[in-house]
Structure 1
Amino acid sequence: MKVKGMRWWIVCLLSGGLVINYLARNTLSVAAPTMMTQLDISTEQYSHIVIAWQMAYAFMQPVAGYVIDAIGTKMGLAIFALAWSAMCAAAALATGWQSLAFLRGLLGFTEAAGYPAGVKVVTEWFPAKERSVAIGWFNIGSSLGALLAPPLVVWSILNSGWQLAFIVVGVLGGLWTLLWIWLYKRPHQSSISDAERAYILEGQEAHFSDAVAEKANWKKTITKRNFFAVGLARVLSEPAWQTFNAWIPLFLMTERHMNIKEIAMFAWLPFLAADLGSVLGGYLSPIFHRYLKVSLFTSRKLVMLTGSLCMIGPACVGLVSSPYAAIALLCAGGFAHQMLSGALYSITSDSFGKNEVATATGLAGMFGFLGAALFTLVFGIMVTRIGYSPLFVVLAIFDIVAACVILTVAREATRPAASTIEPKGTSPEAAV
């Protein structure tokens, strides 16, 4: 039986895995106020726990990307997903900041495959002109996971304890892994219609659709001009999203004096806004391409610039006294950053071939999370001295500089692209 619009079902499945991935990492930030009290963890020690995850995630990303390119997306992602589910559940055994840092480090190692695998799947399953939209939809999994974490963790604390939240997320991850193994297939193995297969292949770039694809090579990848642009942009932009994920609940409690129930009510809103930014950013690229008469690659750059300018919102959080106004500005930040992030992933996807895109994504991710870890180290020390507001300003500046790097350094592939003209009788609507 041929399934209509199979590529969009694949995005839904992929996004579900990313939801679990982000639930696993965001459970800590929401549970942090309670855990810090019960386990006697200081703010600086909490920053060390976050850094342990970020450093492990950073150094494992290129390895995970290489593994995904080498053994394939299906089994590669399944192995990592099963491992991150087990490591998330194991956090329930933590008895202090050292053991928690160790377990979160192991979680970082295992979670590193999420984005390299996701970008590779989208690159395989979508024509170039739809890729930013697909990445936008798949990328909402990150925000949705962060959105679901506050009510799940608060419910667990009120009914049993913070340990339950980690166990629940671990079980959910195991169930999704089984679903992934059962359902995922590459386009040529899948029950896809002939019209959809033709639509995908006709719209892919020549460097991706070549029968003999270039094998992944770390040295060759890292010396490319576009990798330099993407890697530097990730170093500058990643600290913002990791700060949102790790520090918003503590910010609301310590700076805006919200209790745990108020955090459950409001801490998820910036991540809902991030979902909207992720999806809208995906659609903005083809809109800019069509109405501004620019190339798809240039349209990705314009989306990134738009997102970076919107980051001025959270930079103003120190200027408002109302906690609700502060949440609104953080919502603007979540919206802006995920718009920017999706465009950056689309640029990565456009720049590398099918057997190197996961490796490139992983390498760029490593640089990004090293930047995030360094910023978190500074953040954990400085937040008790100067407060959150100046640090939010720095994050906005970083994102704007990242967009400027992409605008000035990244270049469109010079190799001739495959035709993006729809095959006869096949429009996007027909293929869906």
Structure 2
Amino acid sequence: MTPTPPARAGLAAQASRFRILIAVMLFVTVVINYLDRSNLSIAMPAIARELDLTTAQQGLLLSAFGWTYAALQIPGGWLVDRVPPRVLYPVCLILWSAATFFMGVVGGFVALIVLRLLVGVFEAPAYPINSKVATVWFPERERATAIGFYTSGQFIGLALLTPVLSWLQAVLSWHWVFIATGLVGILWAVVWYAWYREPRASKANDAEVELIRSGGGLVDLEREQPERARITRSDVATVLGRRKLWGIYIGQFCLTSTLWFFLTWFPTYLVDYRGMDYIQSGFLASLPFIAALIGVLTSGVVSDFLLRRGVPLGAARKGPIIVGLLLSTVMVAAGFTDSTALVIVVLSVAFFGNGLASITWSLVSALAPQRLLGLTGGMFNFIGNLSSIATPIVIGLIVTDESFTPGFAYMTVITVAGILSYVFLVGKVERVAERSV
């Protein structure tokens, strides 16, 4: 290891640690973000009974978030480049939380769809904001750890708080699932605005700001916004015209399909097809999320370990992804057993695999043309999030009142398609060339 220069060592010793608070704030925001994505799945069995919804109608309602969320990924990124996080994040939080709150007040099917569409609209900028804050507040050598920490919030929050929301629904009603999560989001928006600042305007001392800046953190990003070049037709042709890029686009769609199954249909499956009450289903629904959390935390460690051992970049990155997808195919077995315990084990293994495969963004940076990293990432996220539309609708159309087996079969076929995409379309991991003008 290279010794730490005396100047840098002294700087680190006297630097404050305000950026730790920033990481915690991002973590809490991600927890709220994912609770507001998944709360509908917790309440869906009760909503379906009260409103007498068919499985097709349930699938449409569960997919509503994805229509606007996916469509606004690229516009949301554009907005993030122009509005500071201190302002944009609390505004988005208040708006999506207000829409969530009113889902607990209104009772009509159409009104619920409209409000769910609005949640998707206002959550669209959230992850681009997270990425921007991490780039501003953390030096390169800490950034991956910070991103991993706040990303884990999506699974930790769901694992720990799903039983709480299920209990709240059992004690009061499904309306309070939305009222409670909406109020929490509005309160957190106030906290974010009160505490978040850019590094130079925060309580971080000069030594911490310099430590971040010298380590590659863009502490002056808001004051030094570069002029952005116009996106050309040639740029779009490049990101849409390369086999390797379509390999990761399709692979991401297949990977996130499993995530959206757990965020939408899984609690309904436990209640309506396994005959559990809300409190039982809330507890058991948390177990696959814990497994996914372990998979997420394992994936980066394993991939970096392989790299340090001299394994080529392609194998080190694609290996955990393909192994994770292979593990996810065991989901099909859930349709062929009457044992609830075995079903939970099978689905936990499948979701662990989904977490293990979660390092797909590393392939974006490895394959995308360097000048088009942002555009490629936006397309990758857009196509990947189309699964938030397709998965709830398709499962709602193919399952019957008696059997959920067709839903598990669909998820397995999609996962196999993802494996084939990474093996045959992505192939060797190398940066693609831009399309010549």
TM-score, with structure 1 as normaliser: 0.82
Per-residue CA distance 1:109-153 (angstroms, 9 max, x = gap): 111122222233334444556544433222112223332453233
1:91 aligns with 2:103: yes
**Structure 1 unaligned regions, length at least 5:** 415-432
1:263 corresponding residue in structure 2:
281
Written as runs of structure 1 = structure 2, the 5 A alignment for 1:378-417 is 378-384=394-400, 387-404=406-423, 407-408=426-427, 411-412=430-431
**Residue of structure 2 equivalent to 1:426:** none
Quick one: which amino acid aligns to residue 81 of structure 1? Answer: L
Give the whole-Å Cα distance in 2 for the aligned partners of 1:281 and 1:388: 27
How many Å separate the matches in 2 of 1:144 and 1:406?
Answer: 33
Q: In the superposition, relative to structure 1, how do residues 263 and 371 fare at CA in structure 2: closer, same or farther (>3 Å)?
A: closer
**Alpha carbons 2:260, 2:391 under 8 Å: kept:** no
Pairwise CA distance, 1:350: 6.6
CA distance in 2, matches of 1:189, 1:298: 43
Match for residue 24 of structure 1 among 36, 49, 55: 36
Q: Report if aligned partners of 2:367, 2:429 keep a CA contact under 8 Å in 1.
A: no
RMSD, aligned α-carbons: 3.4
Cα shift at 1:389: 2.8
1:327 matches 2:344: yes
Which residue pairs with 1:430 in the alignment?
Answer: none
Q: Deviations over 1:265-285 (max 9, x none)?
A: 211111111222222223333
Letter matched to residue 118 of structure 1: N
Structure 1 position 19, deviation (Å): 0.6
Q: Which runs of 5+ in 2 are unaligned?
A: 1-12
- In the TM superposition, residue 72 of structure 1 has moved relative to its aligned partner by 3.4
Q: Distance in 2 between matches of 1:153 and 1:348?
A: 36
The Cα offsets for residues 134-186 of structure 1, whole Å up to 9 and x where unpaired, read as 33222112223332453233222233211112111111111222222233334
Q: Which residue of structure 2 lines up, in the alignment, with residue 215 of structure 1?
A: 228
Mapped to 2, the partners of 1:320 and 1:196 lie a distance apart of 57
Note if 1:169 corresponds to 2:181.
Answer: yes
| Amino acid of the structure 1 residue aligned with 2:266 | I
Which structure would you say has the larger Rg? 2
SS of 1:257 mapped into structure 2: coil
SS at match of 1:223: helix
From the superposition, tell whether residues 229 and 333 of structure 1 become closer, same or farther in structure 2 (CA, over 3 Å).
same
C-alpha separation between the residues in 1 aligned to 2:328 and 2:178? 32
SS at match of 1:268: helix
TM-score calculated relative to the size of structure 2: 0.81
Match of 2:384, SS state, is: helix
State the alpha-carbon separation in 2 of the partners of residues 354 and 131 from structure 1: 20
Cα deviation for residue 32 of structure 1 reads 0.8
TM-superposed CA distance for 1:347, in Å, is 4.0
1:369-384 superposed matches below 5 A: 369-384=385-400
Residue 239 of structure 1 and its aligned partner are, at CA, apart by 1.5
Equivalent residue number for residue 59 of structure 1: 71
Kindly provide the CA deviation profile for residues 283-319 of structure 1, in whole angstroms up to 9, marking residues without a partner as x. Answer: 3333222223545x76443332332232233233234
Task: State whether structure 2 residue 309 is matched by structure 1 residue 291.
Answer: yes
Secondary structure at 1:88's aligned position in 2? helix
Q: Larger deviation: 3-12 or 347-356?
A: 347-356
For residue 52 of structure 2, give the secondary structure of its aligned residue in structure 1.
coil
- Report the AA paired with residue 331 of structure 1: S
Cα shift at 1:321: 3.2
Q: What one-letter code is carried by the residue in structure 1 that aligns with 2:349?
A: A
User: Contact conserved, 1:64 with 1:112, CA < 8 A, in 2?
Assistant: yes
Aligned counterpart, 1:251: 269
In the alignment, the residues of structure 1 paired with residue 282 and residue 116 of structure 2 have an alpha-carbon distance, to the nearest angstrom, of: 23
Report the secondary structure of 2:276's partner residue: coil
Q: Which amino acid aligns with 2:427?
A: T
Post-superposition Cα deviations, 1:38-97, rounded to whole Å, max 9, x if no partner, equal 122221101011222111111112111111122233322222122111111010123232
How far, CA to CA, are the matches of 2:213 and 2:311 in structure 1?
A: 23
Match of 1:368 among 380, 384, 405: 384
Cα distance in 2, alignment partners of residues 323 and 123 from structure 1: 44
1:43, 1:380 within 8 Å by CA — same for their partners in 2?
yes
Q: Aligned pair in 2 of structure 1 residues 91, 160: CA closer, same or farther (>3 Å)?
A: same
In 1, are the aligned partners of 2:65 and 2:120 still within 8 Å (CA)?
yes
User: Is the 1:123–1:349 contact (alpha carbons within 8 Å) kept by the matching residues of 2?
Assistant: no
1:70: which partner in 2?
82
User: Is 1:47 matched with 2:64?
Assistant: no
Asked whether the 8 Å contact 1:89–1:171 carries over to 2, the reply is: yes
Q: 1:277 to 1:223 in 2, by over 3 A?
A: same
Matched position secondary structure for 1:304: helix
Once residues 364 and 139 of structure 2 are traced to their aligned partners in structure 1, the CA distance between those partners, rounded to angstroms, is 14
- Looking at both structures, which has the greater relative contact order when contacts are Cα pairs under 8 Å and sequence separation is at least 6? 1
Corresponding pairs, count: 408
Matches within 5 A, 1:114-193: 114-126=126-138, 130-187=142-199, 189-190=201-202, 191=204
Report the residue type matching 1:255 in the other structure.
Answer: Y
Residue 279 of structure 1 is matched in structure 2 by 297
Deviates more, 1:218-227 or 1:8-17: 218-227
| Deviations 1:219-247 (CA, angstroms, capped at 9, x unpaired) | 53773467655433322322111111101
Partner of 2:360: 344
